[in-house]
Amino acid sequence: MAARRRYDELARQLGALGAARRGLSRVLPSDCPPGAAAVLTALDRYGEMRMSKLAELLAVDMSVTSRHVAYAVERGWISRHPDPLDGRCRLLRLTGSGVKLLVQISDRHATALSERLSGWSDEDVGRLVELLARLRAAFDEPRPRAAARPAGPAPGSRTTRTTRTTRTPSRT
């Protein structure tokens, strides 16, 4: 548990992080927006997967993922295959062209970051990466919901909108 002041600072720093993110986006190939790059990176790291899984990894709604994927498919960076186990699903796979693009992206990221973080030690970067990963994980989980019943939630109590990012709940 941290002090109130710390949380304020963290919120501020997170909000102000846009500049760094944009700075990094600027080094991407001009036909590869950050969203597409994220798709490629996830497929490279975790291998072939379905749309729903990808949306979960990227922590954005599936409709968003669908658009990024469609874009990458148009460019020939990834391919879509029917899932033999379920006709509704599509399996996504990096193409050779996609792998080549990823190498280029990695090069540019490394160049940009090594310029920007020239004064940082390897340990500094490592610590930041680790903390960011933990932060991300903390926000990936469904809202913790300030405990009340230590046991599971009362069966059927869905008062709190458990923001699921893979699918927008339709209120039909």
Partner DNA sequence: TATTGTTATACTCTATAACTATA
Partner DNA sequence: TATAGTTATAGAGTATAACAATA
The answer to whether residue 133 forms part of the interface with its own copies (CB under 8 A) is yes
Closer to DNA by CB, 20 or 125: give it.
20
Collapsing DSSP to helix, strand or coil, 89 comes out as: strand
Which does residue 61 touch among DNA, its own copies, none (CB within 5 to 8 A, set by kind)? DNA
Q: Which stretch binds DNA (CB under 7 A): 40-48, 62-70, 95-103, 109-117?
A: 62-70
Q: Locate 85 and state its tokens.
A: 């186990």
Q: How many CA atoms lie within 13 A of 19 on its CB side?
A: 4
Virtual CA dihedral for 80, 83, 84, 87, nearest 10 degrees? -110
134 to 163, contacts with DNA by CB under 7 A?
A: none
Strand order in the sheet with 49-50: 49-50, 86-94, 78-83
Q: Which residues bind DNA (CB under 7 A)?
A: 18, 22, 33-36, 50-52, 58, 60-70, 80, 83, 86-90, 165, 167-172
